[in-house]
Structure 1
Amino acid sequence: MNRKTLVLPAVVGLLAPVLAACGGSDGGSGGGDAIVVGTTDRFTVSKDVPAPLDPAYAYDVGSWNVLRQTQQTLMIQPRGDGEPVPEAAEECGFTDTGNERYSCTLRDGLKFAGGDPITAADVKFSIERAISLKADSGVSSLLSTVDTVETQGDREVIFHLKTADATFPYKLSTPVAGIVDSDDYEKGKLRDGFEISGSGPYTFEAETKGDELTKGVFTKNPNYKGSLTVNNDKVEMVSYADAETMGADIEKGDIDVMTRAMTPEQIDKLSKSTDSDVDLVEVSGLEIRYLAFNTDAASVKNKAVRQAMAQLIDRSELVSKVYGSQAEPLYSMVPATITGHSNSFFNTYGDPSVDKAKDLLAQANITTPVKLTLNYTTDHYGAAAKPEFEQLQKQLNDSGLFDVDIKGTPWEEYRPAQQEHAYDVFGMGWFPDFPDADSFIAPFLDKGNTLFLPYSNSRIINTLIPESRREADRLSAADSLTEIQNIVAEDVPLLPLWQGKQYVATRDDITGTAYVLNSASSLQLWELGRGVSN
Structure 2
Amino acid sequence: MNRKTLVLPTVVGLLAPVLAGCGGADGGSGSGDAIVVGTTDRFTATKDAPAPLDPAYSYDVGTWNILRQTVQTLMIQPKGEGDPVPEAAKSCGFTDSGNERYACTLRDGLKFSSGDPITAEDVKFSIDRARAIKADSGVFALLSTIDTVETQGDDEVIFHLKTADATFPFKLSTPVAGIVNPDDYDKGKLRDGFAVDGSGPYTLKAEADGDEMTRAVFTKNPNYKGTLDVKNDKVEMVSYKDAEDMGTALDKGDIDLMTRTMTPEQIKKLSDASADGAVDLTELAGLEIRYLAFNTDAPTVKTKAVRQAMAQIIDRSRLVSEVYGTQAEPLYSLVPASVTGHSNAFFNTYGDPDPAKAKALLEEADVSTPVKLTLNYTTDHYGAATKKEFEQLQKQLNDSGLFDVSLQGTPWATFVPAERKGEYAVYGMGWFPDFPDADNFLAPFLDKDNFLKSPYSNGDIINNLIPESRREADRLSAAKSLTEIQDIVAKDVPVLPLWQGKQYVASRDNVTGSAYVLNSSATLQLWELSRGVSG
For the criterion TM > 0.5, the same-fold answer is yes
Q: Which residue of 1 aligns with 2:392?
A: 391
1:335 and 1:135 map into 2 onto residues whose CA distance is 28
1:211 and 1:308 map into 2 onto residues whose CA distance is 42
2:371 counterpart of 1:364: no
Query: Contact 1:61–1:431 at 8 Å: present in 2 too?
Result: yes
Counterpart of 2:408, as a letter, is K
2:7 and 2:52 map into 1 onto residues whose CA distance is 33
Q: Which residue of 1 aligns with 2:104?
A: 104
Matched residue SS, 1:505:
strand
Matched residue SS, 1:285:
coil
1:6 and 1:370 map into 2 onto residues whose CA distance is 49
Query: Contact 2:7–2:278 at 8 Å: present in 1 too?
Result: no
Q: Which residue of 1 aligns with 2:202?
A: 202
1:5 and 1:366 map into 2 onto residues whose CA distance is 52
Q: Which residue of 2 aligns with 1:325?
A: 326
2:140 counterpart of 1:140: yes
Counterpart of 2:213, as a letter, is L
Matched residue SS, 2:287:
strand
2:488 counterpart of 1:524: no
2:47 counterpart of 1:43: no
1:233 and 1:261 map into 2 onto residues whose CA distance is 25
1:206 and 1:276 map into 2 onto residues whose CA distance is 34
Counterpart of 2:423, as a letter, is A
CA-to-aligned-CA distance 1:168-192 (integer Å, 9 cap, x gap): 0000000000000000111011111
CA-to-aligned-CA distance 1:260-293 (integer Å, 9 cap, x gap): 0000000101112235411111010000000011
Query: Contact 1:378–1:385 at 8 Å: present in 2 too?
Result: yes
Q: Which residue of 2 aligns with 1:164?
A: 164
Q: Which residue of 1 aligns with 2:376?
A: 375
Displacement after TM superposition at 1:32 (Å) = 4.0
1:282 and 1:60 map into 2 onto residues whose CA distance is 22
> 1:478-497 to 2 correspondence within 5 Å?
478-497=479-498
Q: Which residue of 2 aligns with 1:80?
A: 80
Displacement after TM superposition at 1:33 (Å) = 1.3
Q: Percent identity?
A: 76
> 1:177-326 to 2 correspondence within 5 Å?
177-274=177-274, 275-326=276-327
Q: Which residue of 2 aligns with 1:435?
A: 436
C-alpha root-mean-square deviation of aligned residues, in Å?
A: 1.2
CA-to-aligned-CA distance 1:399-426 (integer Å, 9 cap, x gap): 1111111110111111111111111111
Query: Contact 2:73–2:87 at 8 Å: present in 1 too?
Result: yes
Q: Which residue of 1 aligns with 2:152?
A: 152
Counterpart of 1:51, as a letter, is A
Query: Contact 1:4–1:272 at 8 Å: present in 2 too?
Result: no
Query: Contact 2:435–2:521 at 8 Å: present in 1 too?
Result: yes
Larger deviation: 313-322 or 271-280?
271-280
Matched residue SS, 2:286:
strand
Matched residue SS, 2:284:
strand
Query: Contact 2:5–2:283 at 8 Å: present in 1 too?
Result: no
Counterpart of 1:86, as a letter, is P
Displacement after TM superposition at 1:311 (Å) = 0.4
1:399 and 1:6 map into 2 onto residues whose CA distance is 44
1:199 and 1:260 map into 2 onto residues whose CA distance is 26
1:442 and 1:474 map into 2 onto residues whose CA distance is 15
> 1:24-39 to 2 correspondence within 5 Å?
32-39=32-39
1:183 and 1:297 map into 2 onto residues whose CA distance is 44
Query: Contact 2:87–2:227 at 8 Å: present in 1 too?
Result: yes
**Counterparts in 2 of 1:110 and 1:244: CA distance versus 1, 3 Å:** same
Q: Which residue of 2 aligns with 1:16?
A: none
**Counterparts in 2 of 1:500 and 1:533: CA distance versus 1, 3 Å:** closer
2:469 counterpart of 1:468: yes
Q: Which residue of 1 aligns with 2:6?
A: 5
Counterpart of 1:502, as a letter, is Q
1:498 and 1:80 map into 2 onto residues whose CA distance is 25
Q: Which residue of 2 aligns with 1:176?
A: 176
2:432 and 2:6 map into 1 onto residues whose CA distance is 23
2:222 and 2:77 map into 1 onto residues whose CA distance is 22
Dislocated runs of 4+, deviation >3 Å: none
Q: Which residue of 2 aligns with 1:12?
A: none
Counterpart of 2:145, as a letter, is T
2:417 counterpart of 1:420: no
CA-to-aligned-CA distance 1:67-112 (integer Å, 9 cap, x gap): 0000000000010111000000001000000000000000001111
1:404 and 1:415 map into 2 onto residues whose CA distance is 21
Matched residue SS, 1:128:
helix
Displacement after TM superposition at 1:463 (Å) = 0.3
Displacement after TM superposition at 1:532 (Å) = 2.9
1:115 and 1:233 map into 2 onto residues whose CA distance is 18
1:333 and 1:145 map into 2 onto residues whose CA distance is 22
1:371 and 1:80 map into 2 onto residues whose CA distance is 48
Q: Which residue of 1 aligns with 2:336?
A: 335
CA-to-aligned-CA distance 1:135-194 (integer Å, 9 cap, x gap): 011000000011100111111100000111000000000000000000011101111100
Matched residue SS, 1:389:
helix
Displacement after TM superposition at 1:388 (Å) = 0.2
Query: Contact 1:251–1:277 at 8 Å: present in 2 too?
Result: no
1:128 and 1:299 map into 2 onto residues whose CA distance is 40
Displacement after TM superposition at 1:6 (Å) = 7.0
CA-to-aligned-CA distance 1:204-258 (integer Å, 9 cap, x gap): 0001111110100000000100000000000000000011010011122110010
Displacement after TM superposition at 1:41 (Å) = 0.4
Query: Contact 1:36–1:237 at 8 Å: present in 2 too?
Result: yes
Query: Contact 2:328–2:501 at 8 Å: present in 1 too?
Result: yes
CA-to-aligned-CA distance 1:431-455 (integer Å, 9 cap, x gap): 0000000110010100011001100
2:375 and 2:203 map into 1 onto residues whose CA distance is 41
Displacement after TM superposition at 1:354 (Å) = 1.1
Q: Which residue of 1 aligns with 2:459?
A: 458
1:246 and 1:184 map into 2 onto residues whose CA distance is 34
Query: Contact 1:4–1:270 at 8 Å: present in 2 too?
Result: no
User: Which stretches in structure 2 are left out of the alignment for 5+ residues?
Assistant: 9-30
